[in-house]
A and B are shown apart, each in its own frame.
Chain A
Amino acid sequence: MKFALGLFLFCFTVTPVFAQQKAAGPSVPDKEAVTARFATVNTIESRFTQQKFMALLEEPVTSEGVFYFEKPSRIRWQYTKPFQNGFLIADGVTYRLEKDKKEEQKNPLAHNIAAQLLAWLTFDLEALSKQYAVEFTADGVVLTPLKKGFINRIKVTFSAQNPQALSKVEILENGGDKTVLRFTHPKTNHKLPAEAFQ
């Protein structure tokens, strides 16, 4: 009994020491601290640039746009170049944006894709952990899908300027295609324009 108790105490006192030693090299951000940091984000506004590297394209295609987020689940993802389209989730409903028009999407697929993006952009660790193995790195995280699909892994890089925002999301596909999203001038917790979710 004493031995078992001793072993139990040993495990609980020694393991964190090893863990700390292992983590001592590169400064991996504390998971709880990062989660807490992003949990306080109520709004985000950011511009983005998207690069698509696809085997079926003669050459990579770059797009630009802007996105808005407001807690708990309103998001507008709008491309401005070369096309003017995107999507909007407001009041639980998903819309497709096409120039000045918006069209309600009843297909669950559209909602699921949009919800996926929402989880990445707001770094909702609880939601992400249900679908991905989350590995913290020096400047962000690497998400590996728990179920086999077309995504190989996703690299998320935190913004050096704004600790509550992301600077880059790289989606690496199994076939070698990839999408790179870069965010510029992210503003968090500031008042969003009234028309952002209209």
Chain B
Amino acid sequence: MSKWFHWIKTYRTAAMAGLAVFSLLCLWGLFHIKFTESVSVMIPSSVQERVGLFQASPFNSKTFVAVTDKDPALALEGARRLREYLAQEKFISLPPIQGAQFGLSLAKALPYRFTEKDAQEALKFITPQVISSQMRDNFQNLMSFQGSFLKEMILLDPLGLSKLMGDKLKAFDVTSSMEYADGFLISKDQTAVIGVYEAAFNPADISASSRFKKAFQVAKRNGVLPSSSHAFYLGAARYTDENSSIIRGDLKLITVLALLGLGALFMVFFRRKRALWIFALPLFVLAPSALVTYLVFGEISGITLGFGSVVAGLAVDYSIYMYCALCGSSKAVLKTARKLLPHLLYSYATSVACFAALLFSSIELFKQIAVFSIAGLTFALLLAVFVFPAFWKKLPPAPVVALKTVPPLSRTSAAIILCVLLWGGMAGALRLQISGNLDALNSVSDAFTQDKALFDKAFSQQTAASGLLFVFGEDQDLALKNNEKVSRHLGEELAVSLVYPSEYAKDENLARWRKFWAQNGEKTRELVRQNALHWGLKPGAFKPFEYLTSLVQDPDSFDFSAFYNPFTQIAGGYAVVNMVPDNPAFNQLNVPGVKTVFVSAEAIRQDLIAGVRTEAVKILLVTLLLAGGLIFYFFKNLRDTLLTFIPVAGAFSFTFLVFWAAGIQVNLFILAFLPLLTGLGVDYGLFQVIKHRAGQNSALYPQNALVAASLSTFIGFGVLALAQHNVLFIIGLSACLGIAGAALSALFLLPPLLEAE
């Protein structure tokens, strides 16, 4: 230590320059990092499968573009124009136009999808009366303007059997409460028109989502829409853009406010140029920590970076303790630093242990936060012990801060207050309201909230009433086969099975089709010929129909995937995605030999709440175990170890009490805060216990150091409570309350309890 210390003392300018260059290089690296914002990194593993499946499903890349107007015609016209514009700009890919060729493909697809029910239904199409009426309509259609478009279709399917296929496709339409026209969903009052499109870009990509937003705004500005219409879009792209905009805004606000707060703290407690090192510390710590995290995980979330202010608040504590110990110290800097080292190491080790508990979490983001924090604290400790003291030689006594002294509490009063606080905290913890809404992890603007409300108002029945049933298989055909098993188990065909039969089902259906026409073909074809003659059509005109109903068939080439692709590729195979009503029965589905997963907003909510509770217990236990074990190892004394945890108990109790009393609903990020608060509380507890144990050497631990350290952390955390992003906000709020509870317990409850001995 002394060698290094002397080197820094001798080459201070070089050391400063080296530090500056290192920080700048890290900052440069930071600007080249691509931040990711995905809900999947923020959720426990128990919810991952459901959320992951949804994200991999074809629905996740859908973009909902809505146009509203008091005039229904203008709303529809606006939606058409916007669709054309967005497709032209290559932001959305449209399904092929449902032209005559699509009608032909439906008729040709029927033999391979000809179920028993269809065979019953088809009997109604081949009675002499129905054939006569249908042939009259066919002639009318042929002679009309659209006859040229419909000709091939009529000659292939003069009986309109493709209606049976149309009915199967209708099963995909879960929009019974809505109109459906020209590819748009239309609200009952027809003033809201929604186009559901496949995004032609990655909606999780921040820059792509931002480009889409700009194009959308340009379309609105350039008169693509009627002037009276309002247009907006929803979907993953909007969430990505909103989240990243809000996080960017929050980061600016947090940085500015944290700097202002720390500046004020400097003016109150330090007021010396040399103390500026303490406040410059975050500049040296945050960028390298972010880079380390990025190197470990290969990605870093904006939330992790937002957490930087918290780490900054914690990290400056070591320097504050060191600075305060050196102020007015008559001993050599190295000697004082050495004396303080055990306390700093204890404090560092317990904080690291607390954050390390997050590594046991199944939430990816918490692991990032753990690595980021541990790296930050390590850099901070190294600077506080090895670098800064070289610049703090012969510090005069610290400015006296006239902290209003409160008469010390008696041992009994302190014990009673502590018990009341613990009871309140326990009651609050048991009644804690946890939000299971994934939206609570996203943060959105007021405009988004208004748009979403408009969407929900128009299409509420739809958004609330549907879920996705995933049926797995090793390959696509096995997944389809399993889907058919599920259909049989349910006693009702799932829409996907009707349109996408497995190879086995196709063979069965084709055999059924052939049998049907072997029994009814000759008679039906003769009736068609007779009617054709009656309307002046040549007898051989309906050759395509005769071929379709003969025993020979073209291979099945029906492709509906542009409209509905039911396959989701997963590790080890495929899943077929069925849109089903949000019925809890799907959650308990048990089909022997078939794996199914049901995904709905409610199912995810329940999983999330259960996951959060499990994670909370796990993280808290690991934190207490690691920190408690370390402290006991340092003190070799159970009483001191337990007393060190008094600020922790105070912190948790005060926070949960306030949450309960104010009815605040917390999201799962309360979990990240548990080890953090434990670390803080332990830090303050350690300070007081070590100070007490130091006896005559307690000048190394001035009260101001604890107050300044608490305030710096409070500022670091507190600014997060002003963030718009839900996650940063709840961390900030929880931490403000927790630090207040921890600092007050450490300053007022712990000393009388320590003295009691």
Interface of A toward B, CB cutoff 8 Å? 50, 52, 54-59, 61, 63, 72-73, 77, 79, 82-83, 85-87, 91-93, 106-114, 117, 150-151, 171, 173, 177, 179, 181
Contacts and interface: CB of A to CB of B under 8 A. Distances in A.
B66 to A, nearest CB: 16
Q: Give me the 8 closest cross-chain CB pairs, A-B, nearest first.
A: A92-B76, A56-B541, A91-B73, A92-B73, A113-B146, A108-B98, A58-B536, A83-B140
A194 to B, nearest CB: 18
Which of B76, B144, B145, B148 has the most A CB atoms < 10 Å from its CB? B145
Contact of A56 (B102, B179, B537): B537
Contacts of A56: 142, 151, 155, 537-538, 541
A108 B99 CA distance: 8
A188 B538 CA distance: 41
A109 B148 contact: no
Given A91-B72, A91-B76, 19 more contacts: A54-B142, A55-B538, A56-B541, A58-B537, A58-B538, A63-B144, A72-B77, A73-B77, A77-B145, A79-B144, A83-B140, A83-B144, A86-B144, A110-B146, A111-B182, A150-B151, A151-B148, A171-B148, A179-B147
Nearest to A179: B148
Contacts of B97: 108, 112
B536 A108 contact: no
Interface string B269-294: 00000000000000000000000000
B183 interface: yes
A173 B100 CA distance: 14
A39 B750 CA distance: 87
Interface string B133-156: 000000010111111110110010
22 contacts: A50-B145, A56-B142, A56-B151, A56-B155, A57-B537, A58-B536, A59-B536, A61-B143, A72-B77, A85-B144, A87-B146, A92-B73, A92-B76, A92-B77, A106-B180, A106-B181, A108-B182, A109-B100, A109-B102, A112-B97, A113-B146, A177-B148
Contacts of B183: 108
Given A91-B73, A171-B148, A177-B148, A52 B143 contact: yes
Contacts of B76: 91-93
A3 to B, nearest CB: 38
Contacts of B73: 91-92
A108 B149 CA distance: 13
Nearest to A104: B181
Contacts of B99: 109, 112
A52 B147 contact: yes
B628 interface: no
B103 interface: yes
A4 B597 CA distance: 68
A82 B541 CA distance: 22
Contacts of B148: 150-151, 171, 173, 177, 179
A54 B151 contact: yes
